[in-house]
């Protein structure tokens, strides 16, 4: 049985090899096509908080994205719970919450990546994507926040400042730290952006 099977496999390989233009391997799309599908605002890479593996924000192209600068020891820290609830409620419709820990305001997130990740998960059950600690204002501002500041004309004033990015990757609205994740205006804008295809 094995000899005829082996022969038929060799014959098939020979036939395939003799057909011009037939390719069994699927080639990746050209780089230009990939970057064209990703808006410039999201065409950036950040380390994942849990393991520092590089993550391209292009994976969120076409989604509604809520960017929040977070801190573990702030009066607004309980917003983690509401952010996770918002993410869970709307993720199947295309919303993703992205957390960017920062120690820019009052030394309220001094820990390392593992400490921050453990705190967020064990205290608030955070499952939405979180990225490595970075600056969200000043000379060393991370490139995403630099772009968001330029687009909106507003800089984070404190922890849990929010930027909501529409599916087009260009339309952005901003919300102060006082705006809770269940705020009526914020939720209405999320739903409006989700409805736009």
Question: Which residues belong to the active site?
Answer: 74
User: In the structure encoding, which two tokens stand for residue 134, read together?
Assistant: 């970075």
Residues with Cβ within 8 Å of 101's Cβ and at least 6 positions away in sequence, in order, are 49, 69, 70, 71, 72, 109, 116, 130, 131, 132, 133, 134
| Rg of the chain in Å (alpha carbons) | 22
Cα separation, 2 vs 115, in Å, equals 57
User: In the structure encoding, which two tokens stand for residue 4, read together?
Assistant: 């005829």
Residues with Cβ within 8 Å of 56's Cβ and at least 6 positions away in sequence, in order, are 38, 43, 44, 45
- Closest C-alpha among 155, 149, 51, 161 to residue 98: 161
- List beta partners, residue 164: 66, 173
Residues with Cβ within 8 Å of 133's Cβ and at least 6 positions away in sequence, in order, are 49, 101, 102, 103, 109, 113, 116
């Amino acid at each position: 049985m094995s000899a005829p099977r082996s022969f038929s496999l060799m014959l098939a390989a020979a036939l395939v090899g003799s057909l011009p233009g037939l390719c069994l391997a699927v080639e990746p799309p050209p780089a230009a096509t990939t970057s064209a599908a990703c808006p410039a605002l999201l065409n950036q890479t950040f380390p994942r908080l849990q393991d520092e593996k590089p993550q391209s924000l292009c994976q969120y192209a076409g989604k509604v994205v809520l960017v929040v600068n977070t801190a573990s020891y702030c009066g607004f820290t309980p917003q983690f719970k509401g952010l996770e609830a918002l993410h869970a409620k709307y993720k199947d419709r295309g919303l993703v919450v992205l957390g960017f820990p920062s120690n820019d305001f009052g030394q309220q997130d001094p820990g390392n990546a593992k400490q921050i990740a453990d705190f967020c998960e064990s205290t608030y059950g955070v499952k939405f994507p979180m990225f490595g600690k970075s600056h969200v204002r000043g000379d060393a501002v991370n490139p995403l926040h630099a772009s968001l500041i330029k687009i909106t004309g507003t800089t984070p004033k404190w922890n849990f400042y929010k930027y909501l990015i529409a599916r087009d990757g260009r339309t952005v609205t901003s919300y102060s730290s006082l705006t809770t994740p269940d705020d009526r205006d914020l939720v209405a804008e999320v739903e409006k952006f989700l409805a736009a295809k």
